[in-house]
Amino acid sequence: MTASVLLDRAAIENHVRRLGRAIARDHPDGVLLVGVLKGALIFLADLARAIPTVRVDIDFMSISRFAPDSGRVRILQDLGSDIGGRDVVLVEDIVDTGLTLAYLVTQLSARGPRHLATCALLDRPSRRIVPQPVDYVGFELGSEYVLGYGLHVRDLYRNVPYVVAADRDTLVTRPDAYVDDLYRRPDSVREPGGRVNFVPAEEP
Ligand code: IMP
């Protein structure tokens, strides 16, 4: 199976740079980025470096759905820091139904931050179940299922350095259907539309 590239490295970089500038502008006193593991890890690492003009602290949370499709989640790993009085930006890879983000916003708001904002690399507003706004959005998606740059299915494809659109139905029965395609040449450069330009291997 071949996945088509939705956001190549340059497109991701542009979105991250724009979001970083906006967060820096809105948080002159510094900001605590709270990443939702594991999906937001790679995005957050780049986002933090795109905010070079104010102090950035980093923390993570991990949550788990404990009742599939009910939207109920529980905290697996909590923050290591107290967010009382802090300016916090909650960082997600993708907001789909909005249930995860809404749950986390409720949890974190109750801890008394001075200000709490939300940021997601990808937003799929057409699938919202709860009307959870996202303050900083990289890219708005249609219905396509996406992988790469932290996004996964069964923990596969997180390290693919761009975002691809994959067939959701295929992934249900064959999560590894894109392994050959996406892991074939780690040094290849992919462009929107799925074209692959192979970068010649460097001479030893
Ligand atoms: P929500 O609670 O429905 O908004 O779901 C958010 C979580 O679902 C994200 O943090 C992802 O882990 C996962 N998710 C939603 N859509 C996709 C996708 O297209 N690819 C990979 N993971 C997704």
The CATH class of 4-188 is alpha beta
First vs last C-alpha separation in the chain: 32
Residue 21 CA neighbour count, 13 Å, CB half = 6
111-128 pLDDT, tens digit per residue, is 999 999 999 999 999 999
Task: Verify whether ligand 1 is closer than 6 Å to residue 146 (CB atom).
Answer: yes
Q: Which pTM value belongs to this model?
A: 0.90
Q: Which of 57-61, 99-103, 188-192, 198-202 has the lowest mean pLDDT?
A: 198-202
Report how far residue 101's alpha carbon sits from residue 118's, in angstroms, rounded to the nearest whole number: 8
Active-site residue flag, 181? no
Pure H helices in the chain: 9-26, 41-49, 99-109, 168-173, 179-182
3-state secondary structure (DSSP) of residue 165: strand
Name the residue of 65, 93, 147 to mutate for ligand 1: max ligand atoms within 8 A of Cβ. 93
Ligand 1 midpoint to CA 122 (Å): 9
In degrees rounded to 5, what are phi and psi of residue 180? -60, -45
Every domain of the chain and the residues it spans: 4-188
- Residue 71 CA: which ligand 1 atom is closest? 2
**Strands 136-140 and 115-123, sheet pairing:** parallel
Strand partners, 148: 151
Q: Is the pLDDT of residue 198 over 50?
A: no
Instruction: Centre a 10 Å sphere on the Cβ of residue 170 and count the other Cβ atoms it contains.
Output: 14
Task: Verify whether ligand 1 is closer than 6 Å to residue 150 (CB atom).
Answer: no
131-145 pLDDT, tens digit per residue, is 989 999 999 999 999
Q: Is the pLDDT of residue 45 over 50?
A: yes
Instruction: Centre a 10 Å sphere on the Cβ of residue 39 and count the other Cβ atoms it contains.
Output: 22
Summary mean pLDDT of the chain: 89
3-state secondary structure (DSSP) of residue 180: helix
- Residue 109 is given by DSSP the state H
Task: Verify whether ligand 1 is closer than 6 Å to residue 145 (CB atom).
Answer: yes
Report how far residue 10's alpha carbon sits from residue 162's, in angstroms, rounded to the nearest whole number: 9
Ligand 1 midpoint to CA 96 (Å): 6
